[in-house]
Amino acid sequence: MYTRDELLALNRHDLTPARSVRKTIFSYRLWRPLRQRRHAARVFKHDEARRSNAISCSGLSLGLGGVNACSLSSKEAMLCRTIIDERLDVLVVTETWHDGPQSSSLKRATPPGYIDAARSIQPGAAVNTVEFQNHGGLAILYRDVV
């Protein structure tokens, strides 16, 4: 069995370690395949971008987010969890396909302590016909103290 320091000493370009050495390197998590290293770099960049989304003014910060939902149905729990996990103060959701400001899917996506402001369906729209498709909609979910 190799120690961590012995394995780090093998970090040379002119040497191809034996399979047992490579397996030990993986077991100590000293090296990851290129695909995993690239993924970790993308996640790190995403985290930096997320942190830079906060607007700061006189010591106060505002967490903002935006998402194209392509229908809220079946995504309400994920959006609600995202708002809570990312500590967002405002989330703009486009293409909600909601039925109106009192839509149940919109209410389920809104966590406690938040208010939803949804653009309603245009007055006079033929909502009771087969041809009606609400493939749009805009909603803003924001913290009640904002």
- In contact, 125 and 73? CB cutoff 8 Å: no
Is 136 within a domain?
A: yes
- The whole-angstrom separation of Cα 138 and Cα 103 is 12
9-52, pLDDT tens digit by residue?
Answer: 766 767 777 888 778 877 776 666 677 767 766 665 555 555 55
Q: How far apart are CA 87 and CA 146, in angstroms?
A: 13
pLDDT at 83 over 70: yes
Q: Is residue 145 part of a domain?
A: yes
**Inside any domain, residue 139:** yes
Residue 135 in domain? yes
Instruction: Examine residue 41 and state whether it is found in any structural domain, yes or no.
Output: no
Say if residue 141 is exposed, middle or buried (CB neighbours under 10 Å; 0-12, 13-18, 19+).
Answer: buried
Do the domain assignments include residue 120? yes
Mean pLDDT of 89-104: 81
State how many domains the chain has: 1
- Residue position matching structure tokens 């010591």: 59
Mean pLDDT of 87-107: 82
Instruction: Render 78-105 in DSSP notation, one character per residue.
Output: HHHHHHHHTT-SEEEEE----SSTT-HH
Domain containing residue 102: 63-146
| pLDDT cut 90: percent of the chain above it | 1
Segment 115-120 shows an average pLDDT of 77
- Domain membership of residue 19 (yes or no) is no
Is residue 37, in this structure, part of any structural domain at all? no
Confidence check: pLDDT of 71 > 70:
yes
> Does the structure show a pLDDT above 60 at 84?
yes
Distance of CA 143 to the CA centre of its chain: 18
Q: What is the mean pLDDT of residues 78-86?
A: 88
